[in-house]
Structures are given as structure tokens and as C-alpha cells.
Amino acid sequence: MSGHKLLFDGLKLWTSGRSRWISRLHDGINGRVQACFSSFSPKVCIVGSGPAGFYTAQHLIKARQDVEVDIYERLPVPFGLVRFGVAPDHPEVKNVINTFTQTAKHSRCSFYGNVNVGRDVSVEELQRAYHAVVLSYGAEGNRRMGVPGEDLAGVYSAKDFVGWYNGLPSCRELSPDLSCETAVILGQGNVALDVARILLSPIDILKKTDITQPALEALVDSQVRRVLIVGRRGPIQVACTIKELREMVNLPDTRPEMVAADFEGVTEAVKDLPRPRKRLTELMLKTALEVPGEKEQERRNRASRVWAFRFFRSPVEILANPDNNRTAGIRLAVNRLEGSGEGARAVLTGEVEDVACGLVISSIGYKSLPIDPSVPFDSYKAIVPNSMGRVQQAAGLYCSGWLKTGPTGVIATTMNNSFDTARSLLEDMDSGTLDVSAARPGSQSISGLLEKRGVRPVTFSDWEKIDSVETSRGDATGKPREKLLTVEEMLQLARK
């Protein structure tokens, strides 16, 4: 018995010791696995904090539990075109900021503002620090018209004009001269209609928005009473959406002035159009050709401002005043269409017409610019050449947003295109095409480089200080926010 007991006690001792050893071993392995897990987390860097950047980050973080994402932004403030491009009287579109804020505050996401990639740090340095780099910095260049006189005073790009009334620091000095009666906008997309609406909106509407104070004051004194929105093709090819057109039609204190001849044959063509285009065209026809009801006629009679589409027209030259120092008008070529529907081409007829105006705003598109000599760039298309967001001939480099597709679509379009890029990146991780087996230092090494170069990034909590001051300044005047207009002011506040 004593031998059995001895054996039993020994077995018990060995078992308890073994279980303690296994427990310690488990803890040790677990600790090491967790340490490995965190140090070997795939690290992704996103350049640009507009919708494309944030949607790419959002999808990566949700789809994979170990991915860490760092977002670098040139300005001290995030959100790109949601902050600087969306019209002030469209606050509902800016609600996506709430979603982006959730992403920015996620434990596996960090925001570094005030870092100019291509100048403060190179793309190659980012590639060494991260497993993958996604370029999402958008389209901050202007497409030029390529006509004589486009550099005269009184000619502006829509991008700069929108940046001016939305508080983009680089457009703060624009100070457009609004002392003329007629403004001509070239282009018939949503941005063109945004600009027309801002020029013609009653001040009582604008002063409740987050439009900048200098822009509001300039619009109070504006003499602009007539805005022509010019397109090279016809009503069936107009690029705006029905929402923007409806806002123009219903804009208080304005009336439409269309040319009936521009709509010849359109009524017959409407029945064959796809539904969204059909509804848009029907609203245009109704606005242009139908005799308004008594109430609408009364409203139009009282209106002190006028807007109009002008179709089948292309800019030929900006005409100068007698002193040759500022805009006095625009010469437009008269076009005819070859083909039909979306694919119709504008062909010159040889006729021209001159329109007197003191303000010309070119809304013919934004364009992306190259960021770094190491990144492939198609200058003709103004995009980074890519396949589903994978940059060609550049392993580990991706792009999303307008840099990937060109400046097309609305925020929802950018969301889908950014999710596609994120999916491409995740597929490459899963397949081993993108090697994430070795640890990368990520922001740790980039922070060191920036510190040596005297660059101090702005964190998301620094941005929240700016946000808080802007909203409290807005509260004081009945606006959603009063934006800070210079990088210096932003940095001063962020560092308090």
C-alpha cells in the first residue's frame, strides 16, 4: 500500500508541477505571441485624410483585426474636400465627418496632420517604414482652359473659388471682385451649380452656414445679379444631378432664363433616356419651356436675380477691358452635336458670340498632381496608373479616390472606389503577394525623421482643440462653425 501511496503522491506532485509548468509555458508563449502579434501587425500608411483616405482606412480596420493604419495629412485639419469642397449650404453632406471621426479614434488608427508627404518625408521613406502605402491625396490642381486671357483679373478656377468661401488656407487671399452684374461659369456639373447658388443665394440663408466670414462680407456687397452656366454640349449631356438642379429652380429671389431653341428635339428624346437622366431632363424642360402657374409666375416676377444654362458653347477667349488689365467679357464658340446621348461630341460651327461679364469661373474639373518622383504618374490622365488600386510596377503601393479614377462622382462613389482599393490590399496580404511576415516600424521611425527635420505633426486630439474653438466661435454668431483660415492659427491652437 505504502508503495502505491508513494507512487500516487509522486504522480500528484508531478501532475501539479507539470500543470504549473504548462500554465507558465502557456503564459510565456501567449505573451510572446501577443508581443509578436503586435510587432508583426501589418502596418499601412494612408496619404491624405479626405473621403478616399478615411474610407480606405475604415475598410482595412473593419476587415482585419490586426491591421494598424496611420493617416498623414498635409494640413493641420482632416477631412479634405468634405471640409473644403462641400457647399456651405449642404450641411447634411458633411455628416460623414462623424463616421470619419470614429475611424480616426479607433485604437488601430492614428492621424498625423501638418505632414507634407513629398516634402517633409518621401514616399520611399514611408515604404520602408510600412508594409503598404496608399496614396489618397485627391486632386488639388486646376485644369486650365487653354484660351487667351485666362490669366486676366476676374478669371478664377471653381476649385479656388470654392476653397475661398470654404476656408482653404491657400485660397484665403483670393478676394474675388464681385462688382460686376454678370458672371459666367464654364461647366455644368454639381460644382458649377454650387458656385452659381452661392453667388445668388440670399444672405439670410448663407449667414446660417459655415461659409467664411470674409466670403460672407464680400457676398453682402456683391453686385452679381445674373449667372450664366455654360456647357459645350446640350441639355441631355448636362453633368449635374437632379438635386442640384432642383435647388437652383427653387432658389429664393431668382428666376431661370433659358433659350427655348436649346431644347429642340429634347422632348422627343426624353422617353428613351435612363431613369435618373430622364427625371433630370424633364425638370429642365419644365423649367425652360412650361408656362409657370400663377404662384410661380408671381415669384419669378419679384425675383431680383437671374440664372440660366447656356448650351452648345465653348470658351474661345477671355476679353479684356480697354486697359487690358481685367475681364470685360468672354467669346464663346457655338457648337453643334454629332451623335446622341452620353457619347455625343461637340463640334465647332465656326460661329462665335461675345458675352459681357466681369467674372469668369472655370469649372471644367480638378486634376491630381504628382507627389514624388518615385511614384508613377500619367500626366495626360492626371492619375496614378493602377489596376484596382494597385499601382503599376510598384509593389506595396496603392491608390484610392480621385488620384485613382480622376475627379468623378460624389462622396458615395469615392467610398466604393476606396473600399475596392482596401480589398485589393487585403487580398495581397492574404495571398502573400504583399509580404507582412517581417515587422515594420511604422510611425515610430517616421516620427523620428520628422523630429530631425523640425516637423511637428498634429494629432487627432490636437484637431479636436481646433474643432472646439471653431464651433464655439460659430455658436456666437449663429453658425455651425467659424473656420480658422490660416495654418499658423491652426497650429497655434493645436499646440496649446
Answer yes or no: do 386 and 315 share one domain. Answer: no
More confident residue, 366 or 447: 447
Answer yes or no: do 175 and 62 share one domain. Answer: no
pLDDT on residue 331: 98
Domain membership of residue 60 (yes or no) is: yes
Split into its structural domains, the chain has a count of 2
Answer yes or no: do 292 and 183 share one domain. Answer: yes
CA-nearest of 310, 194, 224 to 263 is: 310
Answer yes or no: do 255 and 342 share one domain. Answer: yes
Domain membership of residue 170 (yes or no) is: yes
pLDDT at 15 over 90: no
Answer yes or no: do 230 and 326 share one domain. Answer: yes
Domain membership of residue 9 (yes or no) is: no
Answer yes or no: do 230 and 303 share one domain. Answer: yes
Per residue in 64-85, pLDDT (tens digit) is: 999 999 999 999 999 999 999 9
| Radius of gyration, alpha carbons of the chain | 29
Give the residue numbers spanning the domain of 318.
142-365
Answer yes or no: do 121 and 159 share one domain. Answer: no
pLDDT at 12 over 60: no
Cβ neighbour number for residue 23 with a 10 Å cutoff: 10
Answer yes or no: do 179 and 307 share one domain. Answer: yes
Question: 69's torsion region: left (phi>0), alpha (psi -120 to 50) or beta?
Answer: beta
Query: Helix (H, G, I), strand (E, B), or coil: what is residue 405?
Result: helix
Answer yes or no: do 184 and 323 share one domain. Answer: yes
pLDDT on residue 264: 93
How many Å apart are CA 40 and CA 53, to the nearest integer? Answer: 23
Domain membership of residue 310 (yes or no) is: yes
Q: What is the DSSP string of 260-300?
A: GGGGTTHHHHHTTS-HHHHHHHHHHHHHHHSPPPHHHHHHH
Domain membership of residue 38 (yes or no) is: no
CATH code, 336? 3.50.50.60
Answer yes or no: do 411 and 284 share one domain. Answer: no
Domain membership of residue 122 (yes or no) is: yes
Average pLDDT on 93-98 reads 96
Domain membership of residue 13 (yes or no) is: no
| Ranges 6-20, 213-227, 297-311: which has the least confidence | 6-20
pLDDT band, residue 494 (cuts 50/70/90): very high
Answer yes or no: do 292 and 246 share one domain. Answer: yes
Average pLDDT on 331-358 reads 94
Q: Listing from the earlier edge strand, what are the strands of the sheet with 397-399?
A: 109-112, 68-72, 43-47, 132-135, 397-399, 390-391, 386-387
pLDDT band, residue 410 (cuts 50/70/90): confident
Domain membership of residue 35 (yes or no) is: no
CATH code, 431? 3.40.50.720
pTM score of the predicted model:
0.89
Contact 135, 398 (CB under 8 A): yes
Answer yes or no: do 198 and 212 share one domain. Answer: yes
Domain boundary among 365, 397, 419: 365
Contact 317, 147 (CB under 8 A): yes
Average pLDDT on 274-293 reads 95
